[in-house]
Structure 1
Amino acid sequence: MPGVIRSGCVALFLILTSVSAVQKLRTINDLKKVNFGPTVPSHTLLLLHWFASTVDIDNNNVVRLTFDPNRGDYGSHHYGNYERLLELLPRGNTRYFTVGNLYHEMSSQLPSYVVHPRQGYEGRNRDRIIFRVREQNLEWQSGLIDRVYITQHYQTSDNLGTAYDPAHTYEVTINLLSQIRQFSTADGDRYSLQNLRDRFGSRADDSQMRYLRNTWGDLACLGLLLFIVIQEKNISDKPNNRRQPQVKRNTQPDFVVHIPERRPIVASQYYLGFTQPEMQLRVTTSTKGKAKIIWHNVPVNCLNEGAMVVLYRNDEAQTHLTYKSIGNAKSGIYNTSVPLNEGLQVRLHKIKKLCCFWTSIGEEIHRGGEFETPSDVSIKGYSAKLQLFAKDGKAGARLYVRKTFNDWKSEFKRSWVGFYSSGQQDTGDYEWWQWQWATKFNLSTDCPDTSYDVYEYCSGMAIAPGVQARFILHGHAEKARTPGWTG
């Protein structure tokens, strides 16, 4: 008998320990302390985001159901708490329910980002939400939720069956639900993201915010939440280099002209939140002066939904120049018929199905950087520089002449610039349409520079890999040559 009593005491102790050990998460800062990824499925955050956005929370912080778990909505069902993972139910019409089983036939009611998560956010169907409901007016659908938990099944390698893991079970307070709910803004516009970033003290800079908008689209607010909770905690001990908004002063003139800043597109696996090789989209050069699109490491979930590469004139353009479906190719090349120009940009879009076999360009998924001209090189002994560029698929050259170099036309009166298909060609090995006198270059207004006057000449030679320009002072006395074109 004493042995039975002792065993019962041990069992009771384990039960009380299990219940009391459930940690409360009160804020997003608390959520950042959870080890999402290595020990807790990152998919839990997707499920929690959906739940916080779906239930109703009024001004008095009363949480109500908006679906019927007894009917199996979203794959939800009764949870018996037989292993005493959670505290015992109080008297009255109160029940625990669970949701998150993606294999349940009703789970198709869940949004696509939960059922078909992006690569890196899969949960192997282990994560769940448990919520406690008090029946209202003999209906569970309008019941009050007074407890919410995130938990997960043990891994199969633990050989502990389908029980939930108490070591990775957390109570989510109403305050945290309300904070997560703020990230449910559907449109993900720039101002909503910026407000959320500033409100929660995120370190995301403008290029990272731009990347989130381009990558997550309408779910950009969710992308920001994942960035804050998963990625940002890894740099919490580093200084915040993001430019802080300045306090506004009433010193504005009668009118304000806003000139949008051009920022580079930054693509990094760091922003995506998973460790697969980062996706790359870039424009380069074919052999005949045409633009060539190259893509690498497109995520499988994008391919499964249907994706295409689309070429635009520049980062600001809204009208496409050409596009191509990439099928199941994670990496590939598309040789376009579009002449190469500075600023060209490739973007990855979803395929929008119309009717029958007709398709069109759908939602943007990601974008690469603009095609950039290689750097200029100095002309030895003179305050001038030479640069090779592409215009309408042809090789062109720019002369940068420092504004203080007043007699440059006199110095360069016998100087010329030649174009060569490779660095192996002799200086005199050129055609008549592949060179021009330096003094006959045209003044350019497209490349404003406070220190230099810029002059251009466009040849009839197709830009291609290996092409270079050389500056000849007189005769065959070479003073500068650009690197071979690698664009």
Structure 2
Amino acid sequence: MGRECLEFVPFIFLMLLPVVLVWANPPTLKTISELRNIEFGHRFPRHGLHLLYFITHQLVLDNNNVIIPYFVPGREDWGFHRYHNYEDVFPPLQDQNLQGYYSVGNLNTQVSSSLPPFVTQSYHLALGSAERNRDRVVVRTSPNRQFLEALYITQHYPLNDPRSNQYDPQNTWRISPALLREIYTVSDNWVDGLSVFLYIAHYDGSSIYFNYYCYDTGPDINIDQVEEASGQQPPTEYTAVNKRVTLSNNDNHVKCYEILLEVKATDNGYARIRWSNMPDTLLDKGVQVNVCKENGKCFTSPIISRSYGTYDTREYLNKGLSPRLQFIETKYEIMRGPTYDDTDRKLPVDINGSDASLQIYTKDGYACARLIIKNTFSDWKIKFYNSWVGFYYNYNKDNTYFDTYQWATKFQHESEAEEYNLYAYCSCIAIRPGAQARFFESKEYSSIAMTIPWER
């Protein structure tokens, strides 16, 4: 009896070993056709396909299929953060010091406001859904941090599972360069590439949340052209293209509107509420925008009985402002617009010739700048001894006509990421559309880094 048990144990081990190996080496998806057949991000309010589309368009593939990102995961761009792979969901790293896994897509965090609205909208619409925050994209950096060695999609176990805070290995996939190219190629040939990609990938909008809050965020799709390009049938029943076509259920039609609700900047650093394409059915019932701060305090902005317009508040422009459309009488919340991001959703720009970058942001309505210094750049104060940052009301101004400035070494330590230290300075000028920060390495007026102008 004992001998049989000793022989049986290795047999069980050998039977389980292939499963472990599969989990540690996720299978690879090579085409959109293969992407259709998995669970990841395919049903409203899941955001995985939207996130994959966004990240794909922030990459460049060279002729050797080397993946070159526009972003820096270790700098925590868009909320990327280190994933330590304790559960061995991904293959072990060959060099823990020079490689790393980084995850993005957690919409419960404040940094998620830096992601584009089309990634986060479903999360804000389906407030009661347990499915709205399960999807993630994970990248593996290479010893040469300019490249990515691999890109994966994964998802958390369901909330009713004791492992809900872990990634599900059986729903984890590696995305091949060929699939990245196909996503980019298919969607880049259309005005509304996201809708085309979601349609071809079989995104399903069938949901009580979807049909109740149905609204459009872009132009209609020519379904005949999509069918010809993809070899599929056009949407039927509740199938939808990112809420951009009219949904139908037998003879019942649900009209989708392009409701835009967002926070922008005035010329004086205050918050401007902008709305457009408000349907008459809502205007007739009476609606307003309730804008809430990070501390929970809210203020109300009126929406005059017209489908579009702006309202300039007396609230300083700050991170975390959240516009919420509600009925005036009942205070019932209809939808939420994207949470305002203090960086205007713009990534830092590299400072040429150094492991540092520059980013413009706003605090209390003022134009501020952030120097992001890599930890290995220990002598940055020596190299930047004569460096300064100029602030400009208008990005069209010549370098010599700055509105105010500050020496780089005078920036105050703000915080630190895993690989970077952040130093900040807030100017005395108001943030406004067109504002820009520029980095000058010396006392000469030759800038080596310029931020993208603040949007109107």
Q: TM-score range by the shorter chain?
A: 0.3 to 0.5
Asked which structure has the greater CA Rg, the reply is 1
Normalising by structure 1, we get a TM-score of 0.44
